[in-house]
Amino acid sequence: MLKEWKDFLMRGNVLDLAIGVIIGGAFGKIVTSFVNDILMPPLGLLLGKMNFADLFISLSGQSYPSLAAAKAAGAPTLNYGLFINSLIDFVLVGTAIFLLIKQVNRLKKPAEEKAPDTKACPFCCSKIPLAATRCPNCTSQLTEKSV
């Protein structure tokens, strides 16, 4: 059983998936940093010195000057500013992955089409091997004229 577990883990697909998850996590951190540290400050400045991370609604009915103050007071909040940041993260990651996959698919060689190895029986329309002289499904005798 241990050997089967090792064989399962060492299959190419499992290793590819593990590498993809690790790289995806690192890429997600880069995009999050890009959104929070580079994209959102100028966008907040253009929108009147607004910090999206501080946009929230206090569910307790009290007013707080910042999200940090509300959290320190233990007030329940709806943090829609953080949601907007996460939404922008998602859109950027999705766009980057889309563009990457598009370029990889463009660079891939087109798959060579292999010659068909079956033909259709003219009597029952089932697929049969090219070399067949009798249909295994309807038992019709196949001749050059019938195919």
* Long-range contact pairs involving 77-85 (C-beta distance under 8 Å, separation at least 24): 79/55, 80/55, 80/56, 81/51, 81/52, 81/53, 81/54, 81/55, 81/56, 82/52, 82/53, 82/55, 84/52, 84/55, 85/35, 85/36, 85/40, 85/52, 85/53
Domain 2-107 belongs in CATH node 3.40.710.10: no
Residue 147: pLDDT band by 50, 70, 90 thresholds? low
Q: What residue segments make up the domains of the chain, in order of their start?
A: 2-107, 116-147
The pLDDT of residue 80 is above 70: yes
Residues 94-129: tens digit of each pLDDT: 888 888 888 888 887 776 777 888 888 888 888 988
The mean pLDDT of the chain is 84
